[in-house]
Amino acid sequence: MIDSIDTQIESLSTRLLDLECRLQSKSMQLDDISTMGLMLTSILDIEKVLSGMMEMAIRTVDAEVGCFMLRQGDELKTKISWGLDDRVVQSIKMENDVDIATWTMQAGETVLINEFPEDQPHQGMINAIISAPVSTREKLIGVLVVVNKSTGGPFEEDDKTSLESIVRFAAVAIENAHLLQEQLKKQKLEQELALASQVQRALLPAKTESFDRAIIEASYTPAGQVGGDYYDLIRLSDHELVVIVGDVSNKGVPAALMMAAVRSVFRMEAGKNIEIHQLISELNSFLCDQVLKTENMFISLIYAYLNLNTMSCTYVNDGHLPSGHYHAKSKDYSLWKTGGIILGQFPDFDYKSECIDLEPGDRILFYTDGINESMNVKDEMFGRDRLHKFVVQNAQLQPQVFTDKLVGEVMEFSEGAGDTQFDDITTLLVDIR
């Protein structure tokens, strides 16, 4: 009787010791996995994350070989292989003749298999396998597969749990690496846009220019870092100048590049002995044939040549908003509409010009659609009528005060209508002295 009790006690002691050893081993394994997880999540290079995940997985579950298969649409392509051919993985079939990796991807569940039918094509090569999905919070990115215990035995549930812990850490690391890549791309784009904005602003003339009988005051507020509006002032002499205000249908860098090309043409041709309407017609043909290759991009602009000795202005309006002419003597307000259609779409169009007489005290306001098309909270546009009224009522203001007040009223009108400014705002005022 006593011998039997002693035997039972000895057996219990042995089992307790065995459980204690297994518990200690499990605790050490969990510590190792946690350490591995911290290492993985500190890596911000996706390639290194995947390579580290593969190495840790094989070492932790004591596997012989393995691979990571990256999801591309509805298919899996081997990204990293440690001695495991993806054709071998594809030969292991699950339900409906779907290979184990694809089944894991579709089901989003880990698969552990230690027994296979004798007629399997991989018979003798594989006796145990674990296939685990690797998922971020938003999507499944791939499948990790490990094959065969190096000891020749089966994989256990603890191996499955350990592998799932590793891929969870890896998923976090992959997501962190993706976020870093997106942040770096965004920073690079912002730097490029900031540089483009600096270049674009460097191409613009001074805000205020003075001539013998005129003062020019300009204002430019882009909706984004790089705008599609364009204005230029070309001084031919103290009494001759060219004013250009335009708008490209698209915004951002493509629009800025297009306006830079147009600016170069005008800068080379302005002042030459050529009729203005002919200059515009030739520019239009050049844009249609050599530059603008898409139906979604075109340019509207108004080109005006002013001679302050003869007190006259010859202009061509190319599908742009008509400039407003305030006549000081009569207090009338007229629109400059003569010209033609937008530039860059119809190569054979014949543009027309018009010559306007000027008087001391007259004002010509050139602007883009950021002024008249600004919307308020009631979905009403600022419109030409409000603009006409503003010009007449504020005709006696100094040019800078006038343009600042106009832009301020447009901004106030559209306040609360949206989170961001809808369009670029450009104004250019010619004040005849």
pLDDT at 418: 66
Average pLDDT (359-363) is 95
pLDDT at 287: 84
Q: Which of 143, 163, 144 is nearest to 155 (CA)?
A: 163
Average pLDDT (125-144) is 88
**Contact between residue 428 and residue 366 where contact means Cβ atoms under 8 Å apart:** yes
- Is there a common fold for 29-178 and 199-432? no
289 has a pLDDT exceeding 60: yes
178 against 5, higher pLDDT:
178
Please state, in angstroms and rounded to a whole number, the distance separating the CA atoms of residues 270 and 276: 9
pTM, to two decimals: 0.61
Please state, in angstroms and rounded to a whole number, the distance separating the CA atoms of residues 174 and 172: 5
pLDDT at 28: 46
Please state, in angstroms and rounded to a whole number, the distance separating the CA atoms of residues 347 and 281: 8
Residue 49's DSSP bridge partners are none
pLDDT at 2: 59
Q: Which of 282, 257, 256, 258 is nearest to 269 (CA)?
A: 282
Average pLDDT (33-42) is 52
**Contact between residue 306 and residue 348 where contact means Cβ atoms under 8 Å apart:** no
**Contact between residue 64 and residue 148 where contact means Cβ atoms under 8 Å apart:** yes
Average pLDDT (137-151) is 89
Average pLDDT (429-433) is 94
How does the average pLDDT of the chain come out, rounded? 83
pLDDT at 241: 93
Enter the DSSP assignment of 128: -
Span 264-288, pLDDT tens digits: 788 888 877 789 999 999 888 888 8
Tell me the C-alpha to C-alpha distance, in Å, between residue 151 and each of 32, 88, 130, 420. Answer: 20, 20, 15, 65
Tell me the C-alpha to C-alpha distance, in Å, between residue 315 and each of 24, 320, 387, 395. Answer: 90, 12, 21, 22
Mean pLDDT highest for which of 36-45, 112-121, 296-305, 409-418?
Answer: 296-305
pLDDT band (50, 70, 90) for residue 227: low
122 has a pLDDT exceeding 70: no
Give the dihedral sign, CA 273/278/283/286: negative
pLDDT at 141: 87
221 against 225, higher pLDDT:
221
Please state, in angstroms and rounded to a whole number, the distance separating the CA atoms of residues 202 and 150: 68
Residue 363, φ and ψ in degrees, nearest 5: -135, 140
Tell me the C-alpha to C-alpha distance, in Å, between residue 30 and each of 19, 53, 363. Answer: 16, 16, 81
pLDDT at 7: 65
For the chain, give every domain's residue range: 29-178, 199-432
Architecture of domain 29-178: 2-Layer Sandwich (3.30)
347 has a pLDDT exceeding 80: yes
pLDDT band (50, 70, 90) for residue 239: very high
Q: Token digits for 422?
A: 């809808």
Q: Which residues have C-beta within 8 Å of that of residue 362, sequence separation ≥ 6?
A: 325, 326, 327, 328, 432
192 against 411, higher pLDDT:
411
Average pLDDT (150-158) is 90
Enter the DSSP assignment of 289: I
79 against 36, higher pLDDT:
79
pLDDT band (50, 70, 90) for residue 4: low
Residue 73, φ and ψ in degrees, nearest 5: 70, -120
Span 58-117, pLDDT tens digits: 888 899 999 999 888 888 999 888 888 888 888 888 888 899 999 999 999 999 999 887
Q: Token digits for 29?
A: 């394994």
pLDDT at 25: 47
pLDDT at 391: 94
- Per-residue buried b or exposed e for 195-230, using 16+ beta carbons within 10 Å of the residue's own CB: ebbeebeeebeeeebebebbbbbbbbbbbebbbbbb
What percent of the chain has a predicted confidence (pLDDT) above 90?
40
**Contact between residue 368 and residue 321 where contact means Cβ atoms under 8 Å apart:** yes
Please state, in angstroms and rounded to a whole number, the distance separating the CA atoms of residues 8 and 116: 39
Average pLDDT (10-31) is 55
pLDDT at 15: 65
**Is domain 199-432 in CATH 3.30.565.10, yes or no?**
no
